[in-house]
Amino acid sequence: MTETLRDKEAFEYYYSLGAERNLEKVSQKYSVSIPAVKKWSKNFNWQLRVQQRDIENSKNLEKKTNKEVINAKADFRRTIFAVHQLLKEALNKFIKRHETEITGIKDLEKVVMILDKLARLDMGLVGENIEGEKELKVNGIADLFAKIAEYEKVFKDEK
């Protein structure tokens, strides 16, 4: 038995009903008896076609979702890189402002401490913990610069 255009349209309508899918609705729409629609369903494997299409749609959705996740991760990595660049610039400015003040081992230890904290902050941005340390949370660039200013204040206060 060859599937006609009308039979194909009836299947497409049946499939489009989703959770409300039933043969009675198809029979009403196409003005045919329910036994006639049952015959179409059986002869043209509607149940199997529904399952196959659901699997195909699921695979397509999974591909789309995976692509969106990959794009989101790539966007996040670009943000991390941009923040990292800002962090390096801020650190370089900080070092230039204080390079003449580093006069002894104590001052050098303070700078190393600040560098260590900044490195931990940077690693916290990418979700890495260093030697069991708690992950540092940074909520936006303003928070990042606030933390740098906090470390800078520690440096000044300990002088």
47-106 confidence digits (pLDDT tens): 999 999 999 999 999 988 888 877 777 777 677 667 767 766 776 776 677 665 555 556
pLDDT value, residue 136: 47
The chain-wide mean pLDDT, for the chain, equals: 76
Residue 135 pLDDT > 50, yes or no?
no
Q: Tell whether pTM > 0.85.
A: no
- Which of 80-94, 113-127, 142-156 is the most confident on average? 80-94
Query: What's the rounded mean pLDDT across residues 147-151?
Result: 64
Residues 6+ apart with CB under 8 A from 136: 120, 121, 123, 124, 125, 147
pLDDT value, residue 86: 72
Residue recorded with tokens 């196409």: 30
- Is the separation of the CB atoms in 84 and 122 below 8 Å? yes
9-54 confidence digits (pLDDT tens): 999 999 999 999 999 999 999 999 999 999 999 999 999 999 999 9
Domain ranges of the chain: 5-44, 74-157
